[in-house]
Amino acid sequence: MSHTYTKSHFHVVFSTKERRKCISKEIQPRLWAYMTGICRNHDIIPVAVGGISDHVHALFHLPATLSLSKGMLLLKSNSSRWMNEHERGFAWQEGYGAFSVSASVLPAVTRYIQNQEQHHRKISFEDEFLALLKKHGIEYDPKYVFG
């Protein structure tokens, strides 16, 4: 084959440091838009970005030329720098969850991300994240998931 053909969609989830509720409703739309711009600037194709006051969900297509870890470094470091202009002392938690997503479920995952506020009226971030790990068959030690 003379070309490389890939389509790698990831649903990523990461929280604020110590899960502080510091992403205000007023700044959320601007942060989600800024994160969308970060993706576009690095040839990451954003599908959805959203979340609530203490964590973010992003769904994107990662180009073959960029590793997931590099993409996450770009997304978290640049958005953290931007957030610190608006919320002094802001930081993201060190790790993240990343889940591969089939093209057939992109609309469902997009709706899930867009409806985070309603979703979290019923379930905590911790329970949501553990459920995602289980759903995707990711082994974990409960002692170390939330640091």
| Residue whose entry in the numeric block shows the structure tokens 């971030």 | 125
Residue 67's pLDDT is: 97
DSSP letters, 55-86, are EEEEEEEEPTTS-HHHHHHHHHHHHHHHHHTT
Q: Which residue has the tokens 């989600």?
A: 32
Full pLDDT tens readout for the chain, 147 residues = 788 888 899 999 999 999 999 999 999 999 999 999 999 999 999 999 999 999 999 999 999 999 999 999 999 999 999 999 988 899 999 999 999 999 999 999 999 999 999 999 999 999 999 999 999 999 999 888 987
What angle (nearest 5°) sits at the alpha carbon of residue 82, between those of residues 79 and 87? 110
Closest alpha carbon to 52 in 128, 109, 106, 105: 128
pLDDT of 146 reads: 85
In this prediction, residue 6 carries a pLDDT of 85
pLDDT at position 139: 95
Domains in the chain (CATH in brackets) are: 8-140 (3.30.70.1290)
- What is the reported pLDDT for 5? 85
A 10 A CB-CB count for 36 gives: 17
Give the E-state strand segments of the chain in sequence order.
8-15, 45-52, 55-62, 97-101
Q: Which residues pair with 15 in a beta bridge?
A: 55
Burial code (b: 16+ CB inside 10 Å, e: under 16) for 59-81 equals bbbbeeeeeeeebbebbbebbee
Residue 10 is predicted with a pLDDT of 98
User: Residue 105: its pLDDT value, please?
Assistant: 97
